Structure formats: C-alpha cells, structure tokens
A and B are shown apart, each in its own frame.
Chain A
C-alpha cells in the first residue's frame, strides 16, 4: 500500500467516523450557544434559520435586567463551594484512615461508602425533606449543602483513597523518624503530595453540586434557589422564550464544561476506581 493510499484509508475509516461522533456529541450544545445569540425573529421561523441573521446580546441583557438569574447564579456558586468544603474537610481524614490504617470494620465501612453512593435519590430525598423541614433547614444554604453531601462524601472518599494509596508509606515513616507528629506528617508531607488529587476531587464535587437538580429543587425555595432550579421555573414563567432560556443555559453550562475539560485526564484514574457518579 502506498503512503497516499494509507492516508486515504485513515481519513475514511478513522478520522471521518470520529468527526461524525464529535458532531453528534457537540452539535446539541453548539445549537444551544447559537440559539442564545440569535434575535427572536430568527427563532420563530420555520424552516429553521441555522446561522444567526445578526448576533445579539438581547437575551443576556434581559436575563440580567428582568430576572433573578444572577442572584441564582451566585447561590449556585455558594452552594457548590459549600459542598466542596464540607465534602473534602470530612473526606480527607476519612480517606487517609482507610489508606494508612488497618482497623476493625475497615472493609465494612469502605464497602458501606461504596454502597450508599448507589442508593437511588428517591429513596433518600423524601425522608431528607421531612427531616430538613423539622430542623427548619428548608430553603437555607446549609440545607442544600448538607443534601449534596449525600453524594459528595462517598464520592470524595473513594476518589481520595486512590490518591493516598499512590503515595508510598515510606514517606510517612521517614517523616516520623525525623520526629514529626502524625498531624505534622499529614500536613507537611502527605497533603502537599496529593494536592493534585484533592483539586481534581474538589472540582468534580463542585461540578456535580452545580449541576444537581433534584435535591436542589426539593430543599430550596425563594431565598436560596440555585440556578438549575431557577432556569426550570423560567420555562413556566416566560411562556417558553427559547432565546432567554438558552442564554441562561449557556451561562450555567459553560463554566462547568471548561472546568470538566480541565480535570478530565486526571479524573479517569478515579473513574476506573468506580467512584464517579453520573
């Protein structure tokens, strides 16, 4: 086979199918972005107008001026940040214990954290709602953040264990011989080494919490409504204005998509450990 034929074959059998798959994967999202910058006149005609007749920021302006979207956006930011802080502050010590100690009940707890990650949301959400109502935590940041720890904690623990396991125990022991206490060892030796893993886990928890809909819908109200729930409510409120909804969708999806692309390579390791939730 000549070099020319080889190139042609690769184009036809590999690059073209990859291109088709990518178009399938990306087109719906690109369509959302295009819709968000099209004038309303373009959105109500059929046959469909694919390329905008002009690019407009009208939908974004309307979101800013006429809706609560940006305060919802800030709510989501606060909730997702809170979920990261709560999730990691309890998961780092737990993952460290699983990785470094042998203790009675270790496997049981470890399996437990795996199993609870598989529980259906509907199983937990009903009693959680009743509980939060009793505690007066409905429509508070704390309420939603705690709701999100149902997935952030088990996920973070499993993810972090694999990062801790990758650090040789010899390093801990060397530090102890040098006279460091257990906490000093963790703070000065182990944590700096697993920082990339902690960041990856933090970003993934952030994304999951930011994207989450069901807990947010059940546990929030007018005061702390996150952006996913708000957008869904706009559908009823504004007799389906696709431009406005798409603009909102773009502002919700873009930041997390970029974050996701940033961590995806390092995520695969944790993925194959099976800890990631959809």
Chain B
C-alpha cells in the first residue's frame, strides 16, 4: 500500500517537473534573448565563469595528459608530428622555445590588429572554457562587457576568423564559432572574387552556399570574409578580408542551382588559447 502511494507521488512529482520544464521552454522560446530567463542565464554565467577560468588553468595540462591516454598512441604520435610540422612551417624562422609562444601569439594578434586598420579597436582575450553541449559550437572567453565587448562583436585569431559574440557578462563572453550550424558568414572566393554564404556544419567542414554553377572553384582556394550584407540572409558582422578557411571539396553537378563547395576552417578550434575581439567603432 505504502509502496503504491510512493509510486503515485513519484509520478505526480514527474508531472510537475515536466510541466515546469515545458513552461520554461515556452517562455524562453517566446521571449528570446531579452526575457527574464535570459537575464537569469547571464547571471548564472557570471557566477560560473570565474570558476571555469580557475579550473581551466589547473586542468588544461591534466586534460592534455589524459587525452594522451585516451587517444591511441599511434594517432597521437602522428598528430604531434603533423602539428610540429605545421608549427615549423608557420614559424619558418624555426624558433620553438616555449617561453616565446605567448609573446609570439600576442605579436601575431598585434600584427592582425594593425592589418585591420588603425581605427579599429580590439581587445585580446583568453579562452577559458568550451561550450557545454556536443551540439553547440561555442567557446567562452575571459573578457566581457567590462572591457567594452557587446553582443555581435566579431572574434578573430591569428590563423583566421573565429566567430562572433552571442552573450556577454561583466567578465566573460560566449563566442559562437563559425562552424556552429547557426552561424553564417558572407565569404569571398580568392581567385574568382565571387561571394557566397559560408554556413557552419558542426563537426564537418563548413558549406559555402549561393555560389553560381558557372564559377570556377578549385580545392585549396582560400575564402575570405566579404564584409557586406546579403539582403534577407545575413548582415555581415565581420570585417572584410579576414581568412575564413580553405576550399576542401567542390562537387560538380550540372543540374544543381548552385555549386556544392565545402570550406575547412583556417582556425584549429580545439587548440585556441587567445583570441582578438573587434570592438564596435566609437561612432556607433
């Protein structure tokens, strides 16, 4: 008898909790980014981001250690080899001292900032955490509205475009990566100067849409931000001529209305340590 009562009260509890969940889903869905729930979410983020930063600092080396264990040694070795090779080619001069790494990163960011032009204000920020889900491609950075960052600010790295800011708290911000399925960037092909819309595909290479079938596209061709607005599709948040990635695959299909082009991002998002946030210009 008591058992049955308990089962009934458990069922009642579940009905209540499910109803609350559904109510929250509905409210949040209707209110969007400005509702009371978004405010609560930002508050939660403000509280947890210093913790994340601290944990990240401590566990980053530990994480690397465990990932060595998790990965098959052979893959790891090959990975290291390739990474070393890339680093070697990138640096060209050949200095690999660890103390120079940070300096090197900041120099690159400085060079990047200067390449954007003198009137653009930027701020460097450390990556403190990654998104919580396997289905959202975001990172969290350790600077927020306190440093002048607002929603929609573009974020770049020395290697290329990273994404844009979607949420800001006082001391942290969430950046949606360009590989997130919700992200679209106006891109321009290097040789043909044709523009298209580069959309994230998550773990796969990005897809460049709206490219006419007559356009000549080669695999290996670089794609840069176009930096203007495609009506009704996406207003470009990003400064022009930032490297997005490299064309990885072109599928010829004479019956299709547009060319099927995939783009591999220039930035390795798994090893991102420092990024540069482009702040809005002072005039507005």
Partners in one complex: no
Binding site for B on A (CB under 8 A): none
